[in-house]
Copies of this chain bind each other. A is one copy, B any other.
Amino acid sequence: MRILVTNDDGIDSPGIYALAHALRKIGEVIVVAPDRQQSAVGHALTVSSPLRATPFHRDGAMFGYAIDGTPTDCVKMAISTLLPEKPDIIVSGINHGTNTSINVLYSGTVSAATEGMMMGIRSMAVSLTSFDHAADMSIAAEYACAVAKQLPTLELPSDTILNVNVPTVPRDVIKGIKITRLSKSMWNDHYERRIDPMGHDYFWINGQYITLDDDITDSDDMALKDNYVSITPIHYDLTNRAVMKRITLLEEIIL
């Protein structure tokens, strides 16, 4: 099995290293990842500047290609141009930080898997709930490996990816895997106003994440809270067909 590995934390992050290391047990691993931190870039694609692909070494050996672009760029460029053959699966991660609920729309990690799916490859994203760069990635890597192994035979629809989130707790505290839905949530954001040394305003984003359906037990956020590994099948069938009929009155607009 040929496995393309990418992420959004950058090719030098501990998460992608642990992931690539674990996946080598089940297949041939090719790493193509951003050359720097690309968190919260969503599905951004570089169209108005060119890209470079630079060989990146780690522990004295070629680890993969570093791209000066986004996670979406990495997947597009790997599959269309860099790799001699299409990979069988794509695994994106391991992200430093949870990617549940509405956060999948901001997540570069999830967007890389989405781009893979759009290019016809079975894809999954993996995230650890901890933002600590020293966090132990090995358990998340093992779960990623176990799920990746089954990805080709799962018969996912062609518009669907798997979004895996792993709680940051000791191995014996993890209760197992739970198939979940995205929770309903929101960010209560504000921008903190500061004054620079020249006397001009600037603003830092500062937000609180609020889950809105804590009474429902099969959501991704609740599964993590209960120390389960959460796996959500995410699809991109974005047309709201039920609403199509309800807004046909708009067809009566005449200028």
Interface residues of A (CB under 8 A from B): 37, 39-48, 50-53, 72-73, 76-77, 80-81, 102, 104-106, 111, 114, 118-120, 139, 142-143, 146-147, 150, 154-157, 159-160, 162, 171, 176-182, 186-187, 189-191, 193-194, 200-205, 231-241, 243-244, 246-251, 253-255
A179 touches B52 (CB 8 A): no
Taking the closest CB of chain B, its distance from the CB of A96, in whole angstroms, is 13
Q: Can you report 21 residue pairs joining A to B where beta carbons are below 8 Å apart?
A: A40-B44, A43-B106, A50-B194, A50-B202, A51-B203, A53-B203, A81-B203, A118-B186, A120-B186, A143-B253, A143-B255, A150-B250, A159-B240, A160-B240, A162-B247, A177-B250, A177-B251, A179-B247, A181-B241, A232-B239, A234-B240
With A50-B202, A156-B243 as contacts: A45 and B42 at CB distance below 8 Å: yes
List chain B residues, Cβ under 8 A from A157: 240, 243
A255 touches B201 (CB 8 A): no
Copy number in this complex?
2
List chain B residues, Cβ under 8 A from A139: 255
B234 touches A247 (CB 8 A): no
Q: For the complex, what is the distance from the CA of A46 to the CA of B143, rounded to whole Å?
A: 31
Q: Which residue of B lies closest to A104 (CB)?
A: B238
Q: Which residue of B lies closest to A237 (CB)?
A: B240
Interface-central residue, A119, A200, A236, by most chain B CB under 10 Å = A236
Partner of A239, one of B73, B234, B241: B234
Interface-central residue, A105, A155, A160, A234, by most chain B CB under 10 Å = A105
List chain B residues, Cβ under 8 A from A142: 255
B50 touches A204 (CB 8 A): yes
Q: For the complex, what is the distance from the CA of A39 to the CA of B239, rounded to whole Å?
A: 22
List chain B residues, Cβ under 8 A from A241: 181
B190 touches A80 (CB 8 A): yes
List chain B residues, Cβ under 8 A from A81: 190-191, 193, 203
List chain B residues, Cβ under 8 A from A232: 239
List chain B residues, Cβ under 8 A from A160: 240, 243
A147 touches B250 (CB 8 A): yes
List chain B residues, Cβ under 8 A from A205: 45-47, 51, 73, 76-77
Interface-central residue, A50, A51, A76, A114, by most chain B CB under 10 Å = A50
List chain B residues, Cβ under 8 A from A37: 48
Q: Which residue of B lies closest to A50 (CB)?
A: B202
